[in-house]
Amino acid sequence: MRFCFGLLVAALAPSIFAAPHDMQSAREILRRNDNVAECGGPTSTTTHRKKSYLDLEKRAATTGTCDIQQAIQHMDLTAVTPALPSPAADLTLFQVTIGRGTQNYTCDLSNATAVPVPLGALATLYNFSCLAAQHPALLSKLPTIALDLPIPTANNTDPAVIAALESGHHYFIDDFTTPFFNLDTAAHQYGMGAMAKANASDAPSDAVIGPQGQTGYGAVQWLRLVPAPDQGMWKAVYRLNTAGGDAPKNCTGQPAAFEIPYAAEYWLFV
Ligand SMILES: *[C@@H]1O[C@H](CO)[C@@H](O)[C@H](O)[C@H]1NC(C)=O
Ligand SMILES: *[C@@H]1O[C@H](CO)[C@@H](O)[C@H](O)[C@H]1NC(C)=O
Ligand SMILES: *[C@@H]1O[C@H](CO)[C@@H](O)[C@H](O)[C@H]1NC(C)=O
Ligand SMILES: *[C@@H]1O[C@H](CO)[C@@H](O)[C@H](O)[C@H]1NC(C)=O
Ligand SMILES: *[C@@H]1O[C@H](CO)[C@@H](O)[C@H](O)[C@H]1NC(C)=O
Ligand SMILES: *[C@@H]1O[C@H](CO)[C@@H](O)[C@H](O)[C@H]1NC(C)=O
């Protein structure tokens, strides 16, 4: 039991936790329902690989449910300058997700002074609403944790956990000009919507620049998105606590198209 529990905690690199409190809540959450059957015996490396940070959300809700709206009071929009405007009072929080994927860029290789130009993004969104409501300090560290670990697949994460938490996908439409949040999957129909950027603020100076806190160029901006003209399901989407995703400052040594890994919280309101 201890062996299994230690494995994920190791992945949670203690140094990235600002407060000992965060580490405590991670340990406490991971202890819940932990047992040898689920984790495999000490010699079972296959089952060890099937534990991932997604487990934190699965175990956050002791009762299997939680009051998602409680998360709003912990939404910190003032850590950036200028602070992002709060969601309008008549909006309801639909879901707090962790997005993990890549920001895409292109470089004009025929131009010696060209700089990378954003060309969309692709991320998978996971429902972390209970963790957001109950363990906000830990939630704010999750983009950093997610960035250090591979994108969850059946190879590294229990497929049942992925099935329970995968909310949908974030990508761009209209020739990569319009951010889109598609929360319809084979498993559920939560809705979808096209958004437009309303407010953007640089990530805090201590934001994680890339995987392992080193191999990257910076954290993408925090955003407040509002419905695009053709609308959709979401009345507001916030991108917060970003980790990684920024491009290098110039195109020297870059290919014509490349991807930069990133992770972030996405808060969706209806
Ligand atoms: C080369 O890139 C720079 C920086 O983006 C830009 O200002 C300039 O117009 C580009 N030159 C050409 C010929 O596209
Ligand atoms: C997201 O997860 C929370 C906590 O498990 C749950 O209450 C909520 O129903 C989920 N959201 C959706 C849209 O399934
Ligand atoms: C999972 O692992 C198998 C065998 O190593 C490999 O063929 C497959 O591509 C992997 N799938 C993913 C989604 O990484
Ligand atoms: C946020 O965006 C709205 C709409 O574009 C704008 O009116 C407002 O001034 C912006 N607020 C800040 C703090 O930039
Ligand atoms: C391009 O950026 C690198 C750092 O990423 C820097 O060392 C180099 O001087 C820059 N090149 C130009 C032409 O600005
Ligand atoms: C960029 O994102 C798209 C999804 O929009 C993806 O299919 C593509 O392979 C990505 N990478 C590059 C280098 O274009």
For residues 18-34, average pLDDT? 64
115 lines ligand 5 (CB under 6 A): no
Q: Cβ distance 47 to 157 under 8 Å? A: no
Confidence at residue 7, expressed as pLDDT on a 0 to 100 scale: 45
Q: Is 54 inside a domain boundary? A: no
Q: What is the pLDDT of residues 147-205, one digit of tens each?
A: 998 888 888 888 888 888 999 999 999 999 999 999 999 999 999 999 999 999 999 99
Q: What does the mean pLDDT of the chain come to?
A: 85
Q: Is 124 inside a domain boundary? A: yes
Residue nearest to atom 9 of ligand 1 (CA): 114
Selection from 217, 52, 219 nearest residue 149 by Cα: 52
Can you tell me which atom of ligand 4 is nearest the CA of 84? 13
150 lines ligand 3 (CB under 6 A): no
CB-based contacts of 124, cutoff 8 Å, min separation 6 = 99, 100, 101, 151, 152, 166, 168, 169, 170
Ranges of H-type helices in 32-70: 36-39, 45-49, 54-60
Confidence at residue 210, expressed as pLDDT on a 0 to 100 scale: 94
pLDDT at 126 > cutoff 60: yes
Can you spell out the DSSP letters for 195-244? EEEEEEEPPPTTS--SGGGTSSS-BPPEEEEEEEEEEES-SEEEEEEEEE
Q: Which of 55, 68, 94, 126 to mutate to test the pocket of ligand 2 (most atoms within 8 A of CB)?
A: 68
Q: How far apart are CA 102 and CA 233, in angstroms?
A: 24
Which of 5-14, 31-40, 44-53, 203-212 has the highest average model confidence (pLDDT)?
203-212
193 lines ligand 6 (CB under 6 A): no
For residues 218-233, average pLDDT? 93
Confidence at residue 20, expressed as pLDDT on a 0 to 100 scale: 59
Ligand 5 mean position, distance from CA 250 (Å): 6
User: Relative to the alpha carbon of 105, which ligand is closest?
Assistant: 6
Ligand 5 mean position, distance from CA 123 (Å): 28
Q: Is 166 inside a domain boundary? A: yes
Residue nearest to atom 3 of ligand 6 (CA): 122
Torsion angle, CA of 228/230/234/240, rounded to 10 degrees?
Answer: -20
Q: Is 204 inside a domain boundary? A: yes
Least confident of 63-67, 89-93, 96-100: 63-67
86 lines ligand 4 (CB under 6 A): no
pLDDT at 207 > cutoff 70: yes
Which of 21-30, 63-72, 166-175 has the highest average model confidence (pLDDT)?
166-175
Backbone Cα Rg of the chain: 19
User: Relative to the alpha carbon of 70, which ligand is closest?
Assistant: 2
Residue numbers of the domain that contains 118: 66-269
Percent of the chain's residues with pLDDT above 70: 80
Q: Is 157 inside a domain boundary? A: yes
pLDDT class of 90 with cuts at 50, 70, 90: very high
Instruction: Return the higher-pLDDT residue of 164 and 40.
Output: 164
Is cis: bond before 179, omega within 30 of 0? no
pLDDT at 113 > cutoff 70: yes
Can you tell me which atom of ligand 5 is nearest the CA of 250? 1
* Residue 160 region by backbone torsions, left for phi larger than 0, else alpha for psi between -120 and 50, else beta: alpha
Q: Is 220 inside a domain boundary? A: yes
Instruction: Return the higher-pLDDT residue of 73 and 49.
Output: 73
Q: Is 3 inside a domain boundary? A: no
Least confident of 21-30, 153-162, 225-234: 21-30
Q: Which helix (H) or strand (E) holds 63?
A: none
pLDDT class of 229 with cuts at 50, 70, 90: confident
Q: Is 193 inside a domain boundary? A: yes
153 lines ligand 3 (CB under 6 A): yes
Q: How far apart are CA 43 and CA 213, in angstroms?
A: 31
Confidence at residue 231, expressed as pLDDT on a 0 to 100 scale: 76
User: Relative to the alpha carbon of 50, which ligand is closest?
Assistant: 3
For residues 213-226, average pLDDT? 94
Q: Cβ distance 247 to 263 under 8 Å? A: no
Least confident of 8-22, 129-143, 231-245, 253-267: 8-22
Q: What's the structural domain count of the chain?
A: 1
Instruction: Return the higher-pLDDT residue of 36 and 89.
Output: 89
Selection from 222, 179, 178 nearest residue 200 by Cα: 222
Both tokens assigned to 4 = 């299994």
Give the largest CA-CA distance in the chain: 58
| 20-31 vs 2-11: helix crossing angle, rounded to 10 | 140
Q: Which of 178, 259, 260 to mutate to test the pocket of ligand 6 (most atoms within 8 A of CB)?
A: 259
3 lines ligand 6 (CB under 6 A): no
Q: Is 160 helix (H, G, I), strand (E, B) or coil?
A: helix
pLDDT at 37 > cutoff 60: no
Confidence at residue 15, expressed as pLDDT on a 0 to 100 scale: 47
